Amino acid sequence: RLAAERCENPSFAETIGFGLILLSDYDRAIQLLQRVGNSVNGTNRYLLGLAYSLKGMEKEAHLTWETGAAFVEKQLAGVPSSLTPLMLASLALIKGALGDYDSAFEAIQTGEAVELVKPEEKAILRAVYGILHAQQGKASEAVEALRNSRSKYYTSKEAILYPRLKGIANTPEFQAY
């Protein structure tokens, strides 16, 4: 609790905010993510919108994601491509949350095409690809992408906690994951 109240670092706030969301403590997640503002890659905007959405505040979620997408797109225009994969992953999550899956998948493809993309960035991009498929109810594609991501964050045990994966949690594909 103390860490959430004193956190001023946007990157650290992402981790704490995500943890609060997983614990269904949406009020504290919202307070924290509002207070620290934008992270460089836009993840805070995605998480803030997610907390609003899970709390039933759809208007606030939509507005947060729209401003988050604009923020990330502006950031992308001003940085070298080698720094963009994580920003594109955040943009894909935001676009997916807004229901714009074409733009979300395009952001993932752009991120994977970056020259010298790091293995851990590629894993995150693949995991986001899986999350986007899960949001669409496409369990086979989601599980395949999560498996291919080899991400330490989305093993079957941890993924079940993630709100955007709960819709496929009881499918045979996910149960076998």
Mean pLDDT, rounded, for 7-13: 68
Structure tokens at 143: 């599980």
Q: Give the pLDDT of residue 156.
A: 63
List b or e across 99-120, with b for residues whose CB sees 16 or more CB atoms inside 10 angstroms: ebeeebbebbebbeebeebeee
Alpha-carbon distance values, 141 to 20, 59, 147 (Å) = 28, 30, 10
Q: pLDDT class for 40, splitting at 50, 70, 90?
A: low
Q: Which helix (H) or strand (E) holds 151?
A: none
- Quote the pTM value: 0.86
54-97 tens-digit pLDDT: 999 999 999 999 999 999 999 888 887 767 888 899 999 999 99
